Amino acid sequence: MGFMAVIGFAVARLRNLFAVVMLTGIFSLTAAVLYVLLDAVDVAFTEAAVGAGISTVLMLGTLALTSSEERVESTGGSRWALVLVVVTGAILVYGTFDMPAFGDPTAAIHHHVAPYYLEKSGQEIGLPNVVTSVLASYRGYDTLGEVFVIFTAAIGVLLIIGRPQFGRRRSHRMLVGELHESMRTNVILRVVSKLLIPVILLFALYVQWHGDFGPGGGFQAGVIFASGFILYALIFDIDTARTMIPARVTRIFLCLGVLLYTGVGIAGFFMGGNFLNYSVLAATPVSGQHLGILLVEFGVGLTVAAAMISIFFTFARQEH
Partner 1 sequence: MDIILELLSWGLLAVGAIFLIIGGIGMVRLPDVFARMHGAGIIDTMGVGAVLSGLMIQGGMSIVTIKLILILVFIVFTSPTATHALARAALHGGVRPRNNEAPEEDTSQGGSSSKT
Partner 2 sequence: MMVAVTLAVLVTMALAVFRSILGPTVYDRILAVNAFGTLTVVLISVYGFLSERPEFLDLALVYALINFIGTIAVSKYVEFSHMGRPTGGDELGDI
Partner 3 sequence: MEFLGLINYWIVIVLMMTGFYIVIAHDNLVKKIVGLNIFQVSVFVFYITMAKVEGGTAPILAEGITTYSNPLPHVLILTAIVVGVATTALGLALVVRIRDAYGTIEDDELENQEGES
Contact of residue 31 among partner 2, partner 3, partner 1, none (CB under 5-8 Å per partner type): partner 3
Interface with partner 1, residue 2, by CB under 8 A: no
Binding residues for partner 3 restricted to 263-302, rule: CB under 8 A? none
Query: How far is Cα 280 from Cα 139, in angstroms, rounded to an integer?
Result: 17
Question: Of partner 1, partner 3, partner 2, none, which one does residue 123 interact with (CB within 5 to 8 Å by kind)?
Answer: none
CB of 10 to partner 2, least distance (A): 5
Give the other-Cβ count within 10 Å of 23's Cβ: 16
Q: Which one among 162, 216, 265, 299 touches partner 2, defined by CB under 8 A?
A: 216
Residue in 83, 87, 192, 244 binding partner 1, rule: CB under 8 A:
192
Applying CB under 8 A, among 16, 171, 186, 240 the residue interacting with partner 1 is 186
Cα(91)–Cα(40) distance, integer angstroms: 29
End-to-end CA distance of the chain: 38
Task: State whether the Cα torsion 264-43-222-58 is positive or negative.
Answer: positive
How far is 133 from 290, CA to CA, in rounded Å? Answer: 9
**Distances, alpha carbon 219 to alpha carbons 32, 132, 158, 164, in Å:** 16, 11, 21, 29
- Three-state DSSP state, 181: helix
Question: Is 53 a residue that touches partner 2 (CB under 8 A)?
Answer: yes
Residue 264 CB, nearest approach to partner 3 (Å): 17
Q: Which is nearer to partner 2, 44 or 260 (CB)?
A: 44
Partners of residue 16 on adjacent β-strands = 69
Cβ proximity to partner 2: between 235 and 260 the closer is 235
- Contact segment (CB under 8 A) with partner 1 among 40-48, 65-73, 192-200, 249-257 equals 192-200
> Which residue in 26, 157, 196, 247 binds partner 3 (CB under 8 A)?
157
Give the Cβ contact number of residue 110 at 10 Å.
Answer: 12
Report in angstroms the alpha-carbon separations of 121 from 60, 129, 211, 274, 287.
42, 9, 15, 19, 13
Contact residues toward partner 2 (CB under 8 A) are 3, 6-7, 10, 13-16, 18-19, 22-23, 25-26, 29, 32-33, 36-37, 41, 44-45, 48-49, 52-53, 56-57, 60, 63-64, 68, 72, 175-178, 181-183, 189, 193, 196, 199-200, 203, 207, 210, 214-216, 220, 224, 227, 230-231, 234-235
